[in-house]
Structures are given as structure tokens and as C-alpha cells.
Amino acid sequence: MFDWDEKPELNITPLVDVMLVLLAILMVATPAIVYQEDINLPQGSKTKSYQKQKSINIKINSKKIITVDKNRYKFSNFADSFILISQNLPKSLPVYISADKSLSYGDVMFILKTVKEAGFTKVSLITNG
């Protein structure tokens, strides 16, 4: 005879086991993920190719986050930070600025002005082409 008053019990042990296995897989796979910020560069002309030498690379993404050789800076704090980090660098180093094409002209010129005020004379804007 079937008892209609009997309530079924939910066994959550297999669910917890599956979730722990998924968590372990996620924890192992996460350090292998490499994040790269995409920057849409404007088109330019291919007139010269340059040789690899020590340089300073400045990248500005569409959200105005500035990366200088793997160090990130906010747009509002960049001028002071760049002048501080460039004090110990030789001013003859070339500086390459890569800016997302969605940024305004004034934003890119602010970065260029900051680099020039720090004393660097070899400054180039990188384009896609």
C-alpha cells in the first residue's frame, strides 16, 4: 500500500560532489587564461619599418586605461605618474603611443603633451598599417 503522507527527501550529496569537481577544474584552468586588451588602431601608411630596440610602449584603450610597459594607470593620474617613472630613464629612448581610434583627439594629444613635457624627443604614434 502507498503512503500519501510520506515526503521525499532530497539527497544533495551528489550535487555537492559535482560542484566541488567543477570548482576544482575552474581553479586549475583559471591561471592558464591570458587576458589581452584589444585596441582598434587607425589606418596609416607603410613607409618605414623600425628595428627592435629598447623603447617605452604606451597603450590607451577605449576606456581610457593607460598601460605603460605592463603597468596600468588611470587617465586622470597619468601625467604625474609618467613624470615620476620617467625621471630615471634616458630621454633618448623612443616612445611609442598606441591609442584606440574611438578616443578623441584631445585625449591622445594630452598623452603626447605629457610625454613631451617629461623630456622625451623621439615620440611616435602607432597606426594599423
Cell 603611443, residue located = 97
Nearest one of 46, 39, 54, 56 to 97, comparing CA atoms: 56
Cβ–Cβ < 8 Å for 56, 93: yes
Does the pLDDT at position 50 exceed 60? no
Q: What is the CATH architecture of 56-125?
A: 2-Layer Sandwich (3.30)
Report how far apart, in Å, the C-alpha atoms of 53 and of each of 1, 20, 56, 96 are: 87, 49, 10, 12
Average the pLDDT over each of 25-29, 46-50, 57-61, 68-72 and give the range with the smallest value: 46-50
Per-residue pLDDT averaged across 1-18, rounded? 81
Domain boundaries, the chain: 56-125
Residue 2 CA to its chain's centroid (Å): 64
pLDDT tens sequence across 85-126: 888 888 888 888 888 888 888 888 998 999 898 888 888 888
Indicate whether this model's pTM tops 0.75: no
Cα–Cα distances in Å, from 55 out to 19, 39, 72, 106, 112? Answer: 47, 19, 17, 24, 15
Confidence of residue 20 (pLDDT cuts 50, 70, 90): very high
